């Protein structure tokens, strides 16, 4: 994975982070994306993250996943146009 994410999309305390990975193989370079979905929470004075979501957060997670998909598609379209 790269050191910096390609993009981060937030909805409140839930974040979708998109990572770009370009492994080299015999066929050349093929860019792949991986997506992390996390929720931030505070434990005392310390902020932490988890990939666990409550039932009431599922719709927000689904909508954030859809927004992330759309952002990736727009990013790829801009890359092709350049």
Task: Tell me what the pLDDT averaged over the chain comes to.
Answer: 91
Query: Per DSSP, what are the bridge partners of residue 43?
Result: 46
Which residues neighbour 48 within 8 Å (Cβ) at sequence distance 6 or greater?
40, 41, 42
Q: How confident is the model at residue 21 (pLDDT cuts 50, 70, 90)?
A: confident
Share of the chain above pLDDT 90, in %: 78
Sequence spans of domains, the chain: 7-81
Residue-wise pLDDT tens digits, 46-76:
999 999 999 999 999 999 999 999 999 999 9
- What stretch of H or E contains 40? strand 32-43
């Amino acid at each position: 994975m790269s050191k910096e994410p390609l993009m981060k999309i937030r909805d409140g305390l839930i974040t979708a982070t998109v990572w770009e990975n370009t492994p080299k193989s015999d066929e050349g370079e093929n860019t792949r994306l991986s997506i992390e979905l996390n929720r931030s929470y505070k434990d005392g004075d310390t902020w932490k993250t988890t990939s666990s979501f409550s039932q009431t957060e599922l719709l927000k997670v689904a909508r954030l996943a859809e927004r992330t998909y759309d952002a990736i598609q727009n990013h790829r379209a801009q890359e092709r146009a350049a």
